[in-house]
Amino acid sequence: MFVHTSTPSAVEFPGILGVNCPEDGSLTRVSLNEFSYKKGCEIFGEKEPADYVYQVVTGAVRSYKLLSDGRRQIGAFHLAGDIFGLEIGTDHRFTAEAIVDTTVRLMKRCSLERVAESDVMVARNLLSMTTKNLRHAEDHMLLLGRKTSLERVAAFLIEMDKRSTAAGILALPMCRRDIADYLGLTLETVSRALSRLHDIGVLGFIGNTQRQIVLLDRKKLASLDLQH
């Protein structure tokens, strides 16, 4: 279930349109809407038309694909400020789902492409974003090819640390099952790896859910990430 909350101006879609509105007001003709999704609700499905581009306002989103044997492979986590759903083709390759109660902005893809045709900055930002998504996909492929579970979990924590707004504390919105499906590991293996990192003094836990992680030794954590 989702709830339509507002229609902000086009210049509030940072990362693509930028922050300055031209004097002729051209960008204000791009319609934006905000929708709120409850935890676990689907935002868009695999193979559905990719008619919109999305940005996380609050909350978090996972993009995943169900494999033929029923397993779930998570391709990316999208946190506040992240833009997702920008496809090369006409259909979505993954399903996007709210990890927690989440609000996202929507922009029509055709409107964005129309603005990009006449605005060099927007076109450049779109290219940069596409390149960034490709780089993430390549890094994720390398991550899945690593031999040890400890290396994969270390790489995940470093990735989350780089994206965190709180220095030294990772408030993870995703559960360990999500982490396992992102890293291509079992839930038990992820739990053992996190326990091992705790035992050797790399990290600590806050709270009963253990979703808040304190990084105690970044240098030792980085030594476990062979691609860092």
The answer on 133 and 158 residing in a single domain is no
Q: Any idea which of 57-66, 129-138, 144-153, 199-208 has the lowest mean pLDDT?
A: 129-138
**Residue 73 · residue 144 · CB < 8 Å:** no
Task: Write down the pLDDT at residue 194.
Answer: 95
For residues 107 and 223, what is the distance between their CA atoms, to the nearest angstrom?
Answer: 41
The answer on 132 and 179 residing in a single domain is no
42 φ/ψ angles, rounded to the nearest 5 degrees = -80, 135
Which CATH number does the domain housing residue 220 bear? 1.10.10.10
137 pLDDT above the threshold of 60: yes
Task: Write down the pLDDT at residue 99.
Answer: 98
The answer on 29 and 140 residing in a single domain is yes
> Of 128, 144, 160, which one is at a domain's C-terminal end?
144
> Of 144, 170, 188, which one is at a domain's C-terminal end?
144
For residues 124 and 144, what is the distance between their CA atoms, to the nearest angstrom?
Answer: 30
If you average pLDDT over residues 52-74, what whole number do you get?
94
The parent domain of residue 201 ranges over 149-224
The answer on 178 and 70 residing in a single domain is no
76 pLDDT above the threshold of 50: yes
For residues 215 and 161, what is the distance between their CA atoms, to the nearest angstrom?
Answer: 9
The answer on 94 and 6 residing in a single domain is yes
Per residue in 86-117, pLDDT (tens digit) is 888 899 999 999 999 999 999 998 888 888 88
220 pLDDT above the threshold of 90: yes
Tokens at residue 26, please?
Answer: 């051209």
Task: Taking each helix axis as running N to C, give the angle between helix 187-199 and helix 176-183, from 0 to 180 degrees, rounded to the nearest 10.
Answer: 100
The answer on 94 and 44 residing in a single domain is yes
The answer on 126 and 52 residing in a single domain is yes
Closest CA to 13 of 117, 86, 95, 75: 86
Task: Write down the pLDDT at residue 111.
Answer: 85
Place of tokens 């596409």: 130
> Of 144, 166, 199, which one is at a domain's C-terminal end?
144
The answer on 97 and 69 residing in a single domain is yes
* Confidence tier at 23 by pLDDT (50, 70, 90): very low
The answer on 131 and 171 residing in a single domain is no
Task: Write down the pLDDT at residue 51.
Answer: 94
For residues 189 and 175, what is the distance between their CA atoms, to the nearest angstrom?
Answer: 14
Tokens at residue 97, please?
Answer: 């789902």
The answer on 126 and 18 residing in a single domain is yes
166 pLDDT above the threshold of 80: no
The answer on 220 and 130 residing in a single domain is no
Q: Which residue has the higher pLDDT, 12 or 19?
A: 12
The answer on 119 and 52 residing in a single domain is yes
Q: Does an H or E element contain 192, and which? A: helix 187-199
Report CA 207 to chain centroid distance, whole Å: 24
If you average pLDDT over residues 65-93, what whole number do you get?
92
3 pLDDT above the threshold of 90: no
For residues 2 and 167, what is the distance between their CA atoms, to the nearest angstrom?
Answer: 32
* Confidence tier at 133 by pLDDT (50, 70, 90): confident
If you average pLDDT over residues 209-214, what whole number do you get?
83
Measured from the Cβ of residue 18, the count of other Cβ atoms closer than 10 Å reads 15
Number of domains in the chain: 2
Closest CA to 178 of 102, 64, 80: 64
Which CATH number does the domain housing residue 56 bear? 2.60.120.10
Residue 11: DSSP 8-state: G
